Amino acid sequence: MNSSKLLLTLGTMLLAGLCSAAIVTKNLRCEYLRDPRGIDAANPRLSWITTSSRRGEMQTAYQVLVASSKKLIDGDKGDLWDSGKVASDESCQIAYAGKPLISREDCFWKIRTWDRDGNPGAWSQMAQWQMGLLQPTDWDAQWIIANPPTSTAAESLIIRHATYGAAESGGVVDVTAALADRVKDNHLNIVVNNTALGKDPASNVVKRLQVDYEMGGKVFKKEVNENQKLVLPEESESVWCLRKSFRANSSVQRAVLYATALGLYEVHINGKRVGDHVLAPDWTDYRKRVRYQAYDVTSLMKRGPNAITALLANGWFSGHIGNGGNQYFGKAPVFLAQLELTYADGRTERIATDASWKSHRSPILSSDFMLGEDYDARMEVKGWDKPGLNESTWLPVAVRDESFRRLEAQVTEPVRQICELKPKAVSEPKPGTWIYDLGQNMVGVVRLKVSAPAGTQVTLRHAEMLNPNGTLYTQNLRGAPSVDHYTCKGDGVEIWQPHFTFHGFRYVEISGLPSRPKDDAVTGIVIASDTTRTGEFACSDARVNQLQSNIQWGQRGNYVSVPTDCPQRDERLGWMGDAEVFIRTATYNADVAGFFTKWLVDVDDGQSAAGSFSDVNPNTMGGNGVPAWGDAGVICPWTIYEVYGDKRILEQHLPAMKKWVDYLLLHSDGLIRVKDRGDDYGDWLSIGANTPKDLIGTAFFAYSTHLLANSYRALGQEAEAEHYSQLFDDIKTAFNKRYVANDGRIEGNTQCGYAMALKFDLLPDDLRIKAAQYLEEDIKAKGGHLSTGFVGVSYLLPVLTQMGKADTAYELLLQDTFPSWLFSVKQGATTIWERWDGWTPEKGFQDPGMNSFNHYSLGSCGEYLFGGIGGIRPASPGFKTIRIDPVVCEGLNWASTRFDSIQGRIATSWKQEGKHFALEVTVPANTTATVYIPAQDTASITESGKPAAQAEGVKFLRQETGKAVFEVGSGTYKFTSENQAIGLSRF
């Protein structure tokens, strides 16, 4: 390069450097999702994050372009919407404000932002979304079902005689009436056990049911062992294939499949699986709405013959769901699909489900969440999902009128396969029975890899724990036997995994094989709603790190389509109390905004006309009005608003939230919740403490009212905010009068009572100090142990810290004798247990009637790991301003925390060595943070080696007792101080 060219180049670079901004715009999302298809919202909301290599970066303006083609957006043209330059630092939930969008519309978009000096950054990468089918008239498809189940459904089922008794000898009782009682619409589907049959004729032995029944005029006999299923008519459990062959006469330029089911489906086109959803569609209250999915299937289409085939299973619609529900929403599953083709010449064609489809029994003989899946590989039909199949043995389908159902687009990440686990050990507790230990209590299925003669039936049983003799502990599964069967076809190595069931387990037992299976015969396939992981936490105590791992696994395993209580026994319901106590922790571990956007609609769907929220949602149990459970209908939307700055979720749910609070008002006496508390669960599973239930009810009444007032305020509805603030004050007065003594003692004198009163701001200032003192005294009196159940547990550590008692919070967290969080960790737990004493060395297993080893509720202390020890908390909704205030006490000497907020990554990493404290903190662009550094005075504090007050982008605000407070903009900062570890954080 000659010298003039060099000068020119340098000059250009310099100029570019001066003009170009340091700001980079990325992570574009529409309605919380990346490049989603099937958006129903008329004005979808767009979010992005900004990053920058320099400190104190702010977005001063943005421009959004939305175009109808890739070509236009590549040329920086927004024919659908060009926002122009908008002076704003907002980067989340920007509502689309362009031309009205129509069904199926493709929207390509990008963003540029201006930095703090007013320089524009480069355009972001392109992102896209596609509108869904907005009108019912967009659907040509008809709901279809395989023929046999409908024909048998009309035949009457009569139980002639049934006995139940010890399989080996004696103790037989007549259960004809009990069994006949379980017949519903000529169907019977039960797990044979004492609960289902109403008696236990011989305790401690395996029993058997013998039944004579009549169906369609014919008489049959059947025998079923205890804990096995009995399904009549037998084929109603089987999974059918639905298929349509068609020709594409010219080349397909674009193909989109819209599909859903009342039940579960899996679609294949030309031999390839469509999408990666598992257990689609998500569980909703089908009486109110069904979610459909949209897939781009262009790459699967062929010119000439094509075939689309679907497997259709019962799932939540017509299989077993929790607490005894079977065929709760309907008798048999139905499928709906519309494949929309656009040919290269512009012609369009639709292949929609209708009477012309064909059906065939699949090798999946039965599939059910609670019971498991049976597969006979000998029944596989070669080429079943490919074009060119001889369909002569395929049967017609029936069309069912379900047109009254409301179809809505998927608004959340689907359930997917998340990861795989290899076994850690294999044992053979009984000859011919092998148990594989996956080393982790997980949720999903097993992928089986075996080689055995045709007809060999392999049985897979699942359990979370082992009995002392090394066999599976399955009693706690109750009516969910969780048994899968695979019958080999006998042609070498066979690989199979269930399609439409899931289990909660760590141990898998294989039996039925003629010889010892190989070590790789079993792989654990973990499934979960695929919420993006946003948080990591580690500290100097390995036990606490295991606790955090247990919390995350608990979340993963219980966020399966809806937030469930547990994944293994015959329950797995969207329990409101569990969801409400854990949601704050959940928001740190993963981006759950979409997940709750979906579920909160189910919650409103379950609300009674009078305003009470039900105990579980989708609502399948009916119970309602329960304190702390019903309040999830207010607490959850509020939490999503606080964490993601989502005002639309508040707007959407405000009417239901108001109805709930008004219901509580009407169903209280003098503002005290002495009545109508449904199945009131109190401080569920507390240990050695009894918090009065009406007190809990009144405290939550106050809290929900307070959050409702805050919600109105956030939406600028001042008059309503004022009204409910006044109601909150009145409830507070009533609460104090009724439950609080002059010396600050709260009725019941329990940790839960004090923790709620402090967290919900129910006490006058002077009594707050007293309440904190009583709370601490009770913990000390119990030898540094907690006594709370689900309701109080999440508040303990935050309120202790807030009241200047962080040392006691640490003591509780690090306690490992019973009852405590680390007790189960010490026993080798890999998930959070339902009960503090699920298993103890002295007593062994708790009552198997209720003893899950994967319940996340007691893991709601996770919020404190991120927000307390990690010190990362929102100072305003959506983390637009951040509080960095790590709680540093004896017991831990370092902690490292990261949280990918909706604004971008926030991270802290601190170390305490003697009196020397070091904190590295990362703050995302376009936000500011207030940083609290433990220090007795400001003078000793440095940032990147300089006195902090002089460091670039660091502003000293004030010295508080034991803490120096600074304000910083974005960037990474390294603070040090010479302090005492005195734990004076506020929470």
Least separation in angstroms between residue 847's CB and ligand BGC is 12
Q: ∠654-655-659 over CA atoms, to 5°?
A: 115
Which entry of 31, 642, 834, 943 is annotated as an active-site residue? 834
Residue 259 structure tokens: 């599909």
Binding footprint of ligand BGC on the chain (CB under 6 A): 565-566, 571, 575, 577-578, 681, 684, 855
Contact (Cβ atoms closer than 8 angstroms) between residue 933 and residue 951: no
Residue 967 annotated among the catalytic residues of the structure:
no
Q: Which C-beta is closer to ligand BGC: that of 565 or that of 694?
A: 565
- Written in H, E and C, the secondary structure of 679-704 is CCCCCCCCCCCCCCHHHHHHHHHHHH
Instruction: Kindly state the DSSP code that residue 476 receives in the 8-state scheme.
Output: G
Beta carbon nearer to ligand BGC, 563 or 744: 563
Q: How far apart are CA 727 and CA 903, in angstroms?
A: 35
* Residue 79 near residue 72, CB atoms below 8 Å: yes
**Nearer to ligand BGC (CB atom), residue 678 or residue 868:** 678
User: Residue 573 Cβ, how far from ligand BGC at the closest point, in Å?
Assistant: 7
For the bound state, the minimum distance from the C-beta of residue 549 to ligand BGC, rounded and expressed in Å, comes to: 21
In the set 571, 642, 811, 943, the catalytic residue is: 571
Give the residue among 681, 672, 663 at the shortest CA–CA distance from 611: 663
How far apart CA 141 and CA 407 sit, in angstroms, is: 12
Nearer to ligand BGC, 443 or 965 (CB): 443
CA distances for 376 relative to 366, 432, 481, 734, angstroms: 10, 21, 19, 65
Q: Is 834 an annotated catalytic residue?
A: yes
Residue 792 Cβ vs ligand BGC, minimum distance, rounded to whole Å: 14
Helix H, strand E, coil C: the string for 614-664 is: ECECCCCCCCECCCCCCCHHHHHHHHHHHHHCCHHHHHHHHHHHHHHHHHH
Shortest CB 681 distance to ligand BGC, Å: 4
Handedness of CA 897, 900, 901, 904 (dihedral sign): positive
Distance, in Å, from the CA atom of 829 to the CA atom of 847, rounded to the nearest integer, reads: 18
Mapping DSSP onto H, E and C, the string for 364-409 reads EEEEECCCEEEEEHHHCCCCCCCCCCCCCCCEEEEEECCCCCCEEE
Q: Which two tokens stand for residue 791?
A: 């309701």
Closest separation in Å from C-beta 827 to ligand BGC: 20
Q: How far is the CB of 558 from ligand BGC (least distance, A)?
A: 10
Least spacing, CB of residue 85 vs ligand BGC, in Å: 51
- Minimum CB distance to ligand BGC smaller for 858 or for 923: 858
Q: How far apart are CA 635 and CA 628, in angstroms?
A: 9
Residues 6+ apart with CB under 8 A from 908: 870, 871, 872, 884, 886, 895, 896, 897, 898, 919, 920, 921, 922
Residue written as token pair 């049976």: 374
Amino acid 121 reads G
In angstroms, the CA 407 to CA 132 distance is: 10
By beta-carbon proximity to ligand BGC, the closer residue of 537 and 575 is 575
Residue closer to ligand BGC (CB basis): 320 or 360: 320
Q: CB 857 → ligand BGC: shortest distance, Å?
A: 6
| Helices 693-714 & 647-666 angle (0-180, nearest 10) | 140
CA angle 208, 214, 219 (to 5 degrees): 85
Residue whose C-alpha is closest to residue 424's, from 506, 353, 345, 359: 506
As given in the structure block, the two tokens for residue 315 are: 């799932």
Which positions are catalytic? 571, 834
